[in-house]
Structure 1
Amino acid sequence: MQHQIESAHLGEQINQIILNGSDNETRLPKIAQILGEAFQVDWCSIITTADEQDTAQIVGHWCSNENLTVPQQPLLSSLQQFALAYASRPFVFDDVKAAMPNFTAQLPLEVGAILGIPLWCEGKIGGVISFLRAQPYHWSEEEQASALAVATSVAIAITQILQNRLIASLQQQVTTSAQYQTLINQITMASRSSLDLDRIFQLALSQTAQTLKVDRGCILTLKYADPLFKVRQRQKKIPQAIATVVSEWQGCHTDLATSRSSINQFSLSESWLCQQGLLNFPQPIVINSQEKFSQLNYQQETPDVFDVHSWQSLAMLPLENQGTVLGFIVLQHSCAHLWQEDELALLELVSTQISTAIIQSQTLRQVQSLVEERTAQLQRSLEVQAKLYEKTRQQIDQLRQLNQLKDEFVSTMNHELRTPLTSMSLAIKMLRQPGLPTERQAKYLDILEQQCSQEINLINDLLRLQELESHKALLNVETVNLAAQLEHIACLFADKWKDKGLAFSVNLPKTPLLLQTDAESLHRILQELLTNAGKYSEPNSTVIINARHQDNQIVLQLINHGPGIAAEDVTHIFDKFRRGQGVTQQAIQGTGLGLALVKCLVQHIDGAIAVSSTVSQSGSSEICFTLTLPLTLNQAQT
Structure 2
Amino acid sequence: MSSQPTKTQNQQAKIQNRKMPLQFVFLVPFVVQVVVAVGLTSYLSFCSERQTALLNQVVLGTTLFLGLVTAQWFAKPLFQLINASLATANGGAEQRIGKDIPVNELEEMTQQLHESLEKFTKVFRASPDPILISTWAEGRFIEVNDSFLSLFGYTREEVIGFTSVDLGLGINLEERAQVIQRLQAEGVIRNLEFDCCSKAGEIKTFLLSAEMIEIDGQACILFVSKDITERKQAELTLKDSEAKLSSILSSAGAVIARFRLFTNQDWTYEYFSAGTEAIFGYSPKELKANKTLWISRIHPEDVKTVIPQIFESVFAERQTKVEFRFQHRDGIWRWISDIIVPYRDEFADCWVVTCVEVDITERKIANEALQKLNANLEFQVAERTAQLQQALEFEAMLKRITDKVRDSLDESQILQTAVQELAVVLGATCCNTALYDLESGTSTIYYEYATINPGAQARRIQIAAFPEVYQQLLQGQSCQFCSISPNPVRGRVVMLACPIKDDQGVLGDLWLINQPDIAFNEPEIRLVQQVATQCAIALRQARLYQAAMAQVKELEKLHRLKDDFLDTVSHELRSPLSNIKVALSLLEVTLKQAGFYDAEPNRVERYLQILRNECQREISLINDLLDLSRLDAENDPLSLTTLDLSTWISPIVESFTERVRTQQQILSINIPTDLPVLTTESALLERVVTELLHNACKYTPASQQILMTADAFSNRLRLIVSNSGVEISESELDRIFDKFYRIPNSDPWKHGGTGLGLALVKKLVEHLGGTIKATASNGWTTFTVELPIRPTQC
TM range (shorter): 0.3 to 0.5
- Where relative contact order (Cα < 8 A, 6+ residues apart) is larger, the structure is 1
- TM-score scaled by length of structure 2: 0.31
Greater Cα radius of gyration, structure 1 or 2 = 2
- TM-score scaled by length of structure 1: 0.37
**Structure with the larger helix share:** 2
